[in-house]
A and B are shown apart, each in its own frame.
Chain A
Amino acid sequence: MPALARRLPARFDPASSAAPALEVASSRSEALRRLLGEKFPDAVLLPDRAAEPIPTGLAVFDQLLPGGGLPRGRMTVWKSPIGGATALLRSSIHSLSSRGERTCWIDGKCSLATEIAAGTILVRPATEALALTAAEILLRSGGFALIVLSGVAPDQHGMLRLSRMVHEGGGAFVALTEKSLTASLRLTSRFLLDRFRWTTGPFGDVAAVESVALEVTASAPGWSRSQVLTLPARTHDFRLSLDPGLADRRGDLG
């Protein structure tokens, strides 16, 4: 203490000297943080890394994802829109909804044929621009654990904006699109035709697809993992034909 006292000026007043210095340091730190956020919207500060990812509730899918779930506050891009992405994300949303989390699916192409999950907000925007606007609005609110955007191909500017909104909102966001420049986690998937399981008919030919196999790859900078999943295929039931005179391939008259 005497040594410290010698270094201090004779009239040192902590209340008058330290506070402005701290304010300057704090404002500079804030400015630097803001600048970094603008330049690198996908960058994650070390304190933010402590945020737990959102487990999807699917054990095989969670094992594949870094940290055991979809990252919060960062963008995830599923690069192959047809490859089981809808099935896995639909199931994830169902699992999250049943746990009380709030979820949303923005169906940009209005291609979903059935409901996603009870309690999930389904948005069917009129245009692609509205789909992006809807995503930005809902992401920024921070009220959703998971938002999925499908059927939209935003440009790099749009992806950058979405990335900022995800960062601001703090939820998980998965975009089913080809562009993945601003994504921190990239997912790809492809069907493995040789591992499909078929149901055969009385003549030995294929009557129905029982299950499909797909390989899902998750990659982040310096990290990658793959997993093969087997999913059943839900056939569309046509047995509601109104005309009893037409038989289907099973000989069923409806």
Chain B
Amino acid sequence: MTFVCLSIPAWPTDAATSAELIRRALLLAPRIRAEPTAGRLWADARGLDSRRMALGLLDLVARSVSPAGEPGAPAVPDPVGGEPDPAAAAPADPDADFVLIAPGAGIADTPIAALVASRRAAGRTDPARRRLEIVPPGQDRAYLAPLDLGLLDPPPAPSLFPLLAGIGIENCGDLAALDLQSVEVRFGAEGVRVWRLARAADHRPVFGARPRELPNAMLEWVDYELDRQEQVVFIVNSLLATVTDELLRRRQGAHTMVLEFALADRSVVEVPVRCSAATADRKTWLRVTRAALEPVTFGAAVTRIGMRVASAMPIADRQVDLFDRGHATARATEAALAHLLDKQLDAVVVAEPEAHPLPERRTRWRPDPTGQLPEPPLAVSEPGGPALSIQLFAAPRPIDVRTVTRRGAVIPDRYYDGIRNYTLSATLGPDRVSGGFGEAAFAREYFQGVRADGVMVLLFRDVPSDRWHLAGWWD
């Protein structure tokens, strides 16, 4: 790793200039880290020409912090001793409302050495000297050795200086010569931190983990224009092949893709496409993409189609039991479930029992949009074997009921559901249920009837309205 550090004492304070500076810096270096408050700019020069990169950045920064632009840009002498840029060598604008402090750059193997080098370079007042300081490879510790400990960053705690001075330590080399145990015993954790920096043992993560670029594909043409959706889908299909192949190679599945259409009128239309389950299956994506593009109409002919994965996740290869009978078909089944969920996101449900007195609210159906196959249950048999259980209508059906009085209670004897009459051979009830408050209040009398054909039905009388309903049946 080769670090390039730029110390920029006059970092541009307006956001637009700062953003522009970073944008242009990214053209010179693949990875940039800007620390505006500290006046630092880091660049990753691994495998690249670090000197050239540093010079380019210096020039860029010098022009960016100049108040009037190029005429007032500070001079950046050629580090190899060539002729300085005439424009850069021009005198600064005397009307400028600030005193320009020129930036300096340092190159080293470690962040601390690069940082110290850049500070030293920026501090030079002699314009004839270079504003770039290069620490030879492997010489970071030697470079720091004669320097004052106060140059380290972050600097040692103020309380540490008297202690270090007390044993005659004046520079980084003196401290680095000690062993770890001695430093730890005498100066504690802070001493160890400074000791590491003094030895150029700096492992700070200047550049975070590089996010992997998600798969994408693009096709652009200039000699013809597409205005029919079939043609668009044809090209999307070929782009999908590229993207899904790359996803499969990475063993990832995409959740969301974005289709980008550049039109002949220079406008750009973005169409996000989502799949219910992360997948790299080309057929699935083509189907979902077709459905997403169906309502889309373009205002002009399409001249470019881009496709990029917006979110992806690893395709889980679950550890399964070798004796799992569905092991071989798990992937096909999950693909089928994803297909189904694309049609209706809440199609697959999971029952959650609730302790509500009303039958229709006794179970809450929670959609399961994951598209994952449930874990196989433990091998237990159904308690008691098959048994009739209650089935409910989606909404209770109003019915006409003929009642009889039995021991003071009014019970249904026959009902008409709008199609035919049913005689009840036996009626059990009432089971009175009430509860709730305000508009949610309910009071019902439930009856379990056995029809002449043997079908058991559940009826209830809504007490406030005195209306009869058929709630369900047993099957």
- Where the two chains meet, the residues of A that have a C-beta atom closer than 8 Å to any C-beta of B are 57-58, 81-88, 90-91, 94-95, 97-102, 109-115, 117-126, 130, 133-134, 137-138, 140-145, 190-193, 196, 198, 203, 205-209, 212, 214, 231-236, 238, 240-243, 246-249
Contact = CB atoms under 8 A, between A and B. Distances in A.
- By DSSP majority rule, is chain A's interface helix, strand, loop, or mixed? loop
B381 A95 contact: yes
A232 to B, nearest CB: 4
Contact of B458 (A102, A124, A198, A236): A236
Interface residues of B, number: 80
Given A114-B363, A248-B430, A249-B429, A231 B454 contact: no
Given A141-B333, A233-B388, A124 B359 contact: no
Contacts of A88: 386
A69 B378 CA distance: 22
A113 B325 contact: no
Given A130-B347, A241-B357, A247 B432 contact: yes
A231 B375 contact: no
Given A137-B339, A190-B454, A249-B431, A98 B391 contact: no
B386 A100 contact: no
B359 A236 contact: yes
Contacts of B378: 98
Contacts, number: 233
A246 B435 CA distance: 10
A130 B344 contact: yes
B393 A111 contact: yes
A140 B324 CA distance: 20
A62 to B, nearest CB: 12
A143 B330 contact: yes
7 contacts: A87-B475, A113-B363, A130-B344, A137-B339, A212-B454, A231-B388, A242-B436
B416 interface: no
A101 B467 CA distance: 46
A241 B434 contact: yes
Interface of B: 321, 323-326, 329-330, 332-333, 335-337, 339-340, 343-344, 346-351, 353, 355-357, 359-360, 362-363, 365, 373-382, 384-394, 406-407, 409, 425-426, 428-436, 443, 446, 448, 450, 452-456, 458, 472-475
Contacts of B349: 122-124
B326 A235 contact: no
B329 A114 contact: no
A99 B379 contact: yes
Contacts of B346: 124
A84 B355 CA distance: 26
A111 B456 contact: no
A124 B343 CA distance: 12
A141 B434 contact: no
B336 A113 contact: no
Nearest to B327: A100
A119 B377 contact: yes
